[in-house]
Amino acid sequence: MITVVSVAIVGAAGYAGAELTRLVLGHPLMDLVTVTSSADAGRRVSELYPALAGCDLVYVPHDEAAIAEAVELAFLAVPHTAAMAITPGLLEAGLTVIDASADFRLRDPKVFSRWYGVEHVCPDLLSDAVYGLPELWREALPGARLVACPGCYPTATLLAAAPAIRAGLVISGRVVVDAKSGVSGAGRTPSAATNYVSAAESITAYKVGSHRHTPEITQGLGDLGLTDVRVTFSPHLVPMSRGLLSTVYLEVDPGLSVGDAHAVYAAHYAGEPFVTVHAPGVMPSTSEVRGSNRAHIGVATDGTGTLIVSAAIDNLVKGTAGQAVQCANLALGYEETTGLDRFAPVF
């Protein structure tokens, strides 16, 4: 028997948390009980986000014990390194934890420490965490107690690369990723690089060769079966509020036609509720997926032995909050698409 689950969103006032709030409020099998925010404690959700008018919940400070007592499922939309401090206690209390941060994505604690600059305080949980990219590893999600939701860049990149790798089309571990994200990917707190004057009418490559999603992309490509993985990842900040486009360059046999490559992608994603593969040579745009949990994919070849695949997602939905709900649905035994086609975007 399917029952309604009580839910807390920890870190609910940020952009990802706001998207989670929107989606959970519209989910017929989720009862949003608690929303936390240290900075905005005492404010109503609808005051901070008027698009959610009618939501009378008030942000409360983070309190692990109170959350554990009040709900059965917790979405964590907190900064990296914060989730691992509270996850063990929530799991011990019997909750299902869906973590949208990076704390449980990397299986090797030494790799985590090298890229995030801190020691992992609960490395014993890394082997228990399920990497939550349903289109590629759905079978691991039913019954999962701890789900590590992928980053937005790895989500689009791995969806773009997976069919070619799994079909044996890729002949080299050299992968080039050129990706562009809207400003909301940097979070709600503005910086010198993300304020309007800096970001408007400009595009900037940032953290080239040093972005923290690089080891996650590398790990995922290896899990797909690619060997000797060598990733060049160049992220860019573009002047739009939301959306992400990842264009991935893979080495293949020069004789591979775009029609044959497209057939592989169409077959791989046939029946996937949130993935659309465009016609051969037709590339996606971020406007197609804005506010949705969808990924749109385009496939092309250039005659030089390079397969070029673009994947467009909304960084806050399929890249974060929507994927978290999709994973929760699967973990709890709900229909995978439940609650993911209602309400307009918050912004």
Q: What is the pLDDT of residue 212?
A: 94
Q: Which pLDDT value is given to residue 237?
A: 92
Structural domains counted in the chain: 2
Do 283 and 193 lie in one domain? The reply is yes
* 161-202 tens-digit pLDDT: 999 999 999 999 999 999 999 887 666 666 666 676 666 788
pLDDT at 346 over 80: no
Does a structural domain hold residue 82? yes
Same-domain pairing of 169 and 294: yes
Residues 323 and 309 in one domain: no
* Domain that residue 250 falls in: 153-314
User: 140-145 — which CB contacts under 8 Å span 24+ positions?
Assistant: 141/327, 141/330, 141/331, 142/330, 142/331, 142/333, 143/331, 143/333, 144/96, 144/327, 144/330, 144/331, 145/91, 145/96, 145/97, 145/331
pLDDT of residue 194: 65
What would the pLDDT profile of 221-234 be if each residue is shown by its tens digit?
999 999 999 999 99
pLDDT of residue 344 exceeding 70, the answer is no
The pLDDT score that the predictor gives to residue 241 is 86
Does one domain contain both 298 and 157? yes
In a domain, 53, yes or no: yes
Average pLDDT, the chain: 94
CATH of the domain at 191: 3.30.360.10
What is the value of pTM for the model shown? 0.95
Residue 20 shares a structural domain with residue 34 = yes
170 lies in the same domain as 107: no
Share of the chain above pLDDT 70, in %: 94
> Is 203 a member of any domain?
yes
Q: Quote the pLDDT of residue 341.
A: 77
Task: Please indicate, yes or no, if residue 342 is contained in any of the structural domains.
Answer: no
Instruction: Give the pLDDT confidence of 89-121 residue by residue, as tens digits.
Output: 999 999 999 999 999 999 999 999 999 999 999
Give me the pLDDT at residue 257, please. Answer: 96
> In this structure, are 144 and 251 located in the same domain?
no
Question: Which pLDDT tens digit goes with each residue over 252-310?
Answer: 999 999 999 999 999 999 999 999 999 999 999 999 999 999 999 999 999 999 999 99
Q: Average pLDDT for residues 326-330, to the nearest whole number?
A: 98
Q: Has residue 51 been placed in a domain?
A: yes
Q: Report the catalytic residues.
A: 152
Residue 153 has pLDDT above 70, yes or no: yes
Let me know if residue 192 belongs to a domain. yes
Same domain, 54 and 197: no
Average pLDDT over residues 27-40: 96
Q: What pLDDT band is residue 347 in, cutting at 50, 70 and 90?
A: low
pLDDT of 2: 80
Co-location of 202 and 306 in the same domain: yes
pLDDT of residue 201: 82
pLDDT for residue 342: 55
Question: Would you say residue 339 lies in a domain?
Answer: no
Is 73's pLDDT higher than 60? yes
